[in-house]
């Protein structure tokens, strides 16, 4: 016989109570207060926008934020406009013109990567910065434009309270191992494949 609404509600309540007990226990268990290293990777859309979501959160608490973008710069993005215009206090650095898919000039790419890494390293050594977003940094590792050991060491030895978000596909097993939280954004669908153009405010 089908369940009545009252029965469904009661069963839902029981299941929610059970869940709450579990979650509360986990919250109780979590006792460490420190900055975390997050890696947002995978082929689906949502890595950088998630990183910028955390930037927004941190700014909401007047925390100090640093952002380094390792690829973009050829095209202006909404996040850059927003930060430059509304949050000039954000320590913002973009690799800019030094790196494009078109040039394929390894030497100048490496120079640009190193110049950009200097800014990231400075932020990773600054204990006044609460959150650092290293957007698209994984590609610098994937192409071996930057030295993996140097990067991992800087990430590892950052200030205790500082959180860092790294975005981009790949990144390597050592970065995954070092990171506290790793999320892989899986592509289930992407409108690009149906011929829909990248949209202002959605994609850039």
- Residues at the contact surface with ligand ATP, assessed by CB under 6 A: 43-49, 136, 167, 185, 187, 190, 192, 198, 203-204
Distance CA 127, CA 107 (A): 33
Please say which residue, 48 or 94, places its beta carbon nearer to Mg ion: 48
Contact, 98 vs 118, CB < 8 A? no
Residue-by-residue DSSP string for 87-141: -TTSEEEE-GGG--TTT--HHHHHHHHHHHHHHHHHHHT-TT--EEEEETTHHHH
Distance CA 129, CA 123 (A): 7
Rg, the chain, Cα only: 20
Task: Report in angstroms how near the CB of residue 43 gets to ligand ATP at its nearest.
Answer: 5
Residue 187 interface partner, choices ligand ATP, Mg ion, none, CB cut-off 5-8 Å depending on type: ligand ATP
**Could you give the CA distance from residue 165 to residue 163 in angstroms, rounded to a whole number?**
7
Rank residues 41 and 48 by Cβ distance to Mg ion and give the closer one.
48
**Residue 190 contact, options ligand ATP, Mg ion, none, Cβ 5-8 Å cut-off depending on partner type:** ligand ATP
Which option in ligand ATP, Mg ion, none does residue 192 bind, with CB closer than 5 to 8 A by kind?
A: ligand ATP
Shortest Å, Cβ 170 to ligand ATP: 11
Residues 6+ apart with CB under 8 A from 136: 48, 69, 70, 71, 72, 167, 168
Binding site partner of 108, from Mg ion, ligand ATP, none, Cβ cut-off 5-8 A by kind: none
Q: 68 - beta bridge partners?
A: 93, 134
On the CB side of 166, how many CA atoms lie within 13 Å of its CA?
27
CB-nearer residue toward ligand ATP: 102 or 149: 102
Q: How far is the CB of 14 from ligand ATP (least distance, A)?
A: 38
Least distance to ligand ATP, CB of residue 55, Å = 12
Binding mask 18-57 for Mg ion (x = CB under 5 A): -----------------------------xx---------
Interaction site with Mg ion (CB under 5 A): 47-48
């Amino acid at each position: 016989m089908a369940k009545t609404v009252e029965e469904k509600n009661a069963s839902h309540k029981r299941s929610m109570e059970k869940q709450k007990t579990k979650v509360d226990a986990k919250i109780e268990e979590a006792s460490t207060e420190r900055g975390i290293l997050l890696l947002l990777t995978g082929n689906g859309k949502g890595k950088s926008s998630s990183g910028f979501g955390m930037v927004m959160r941190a700014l909401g608490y007047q925390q100090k934020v640093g952002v380094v973008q390792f690829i973009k710069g050829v095209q202006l993005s909404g996040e850059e406009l927003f930060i430059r215009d509304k949050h000039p206090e954000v320590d913002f650095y973009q690799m800019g013109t030094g790196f494009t898919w078109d040039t394929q000039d390894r030497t100048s790419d490496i120079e640009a990567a190193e110049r950009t890494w200097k800014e990231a390293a400075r932020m990773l050594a600054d204990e006044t910065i609460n959150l650092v977003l290293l957007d698209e940094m994984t590609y610098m590792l994937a192409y071996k434009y930057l030295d993996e050991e140097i990067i991992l060491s800087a990430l590892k030895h950052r200030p205790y309270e500082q959180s860092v978000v790294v975005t981009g596909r790949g990144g390597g097993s050592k970065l995954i191992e070092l990171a506290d939280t790793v999320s892989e954004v899986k592509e289930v669908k992407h409108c690009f494949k149906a011929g829909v153009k990248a949209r202002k405010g959605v994609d850039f």
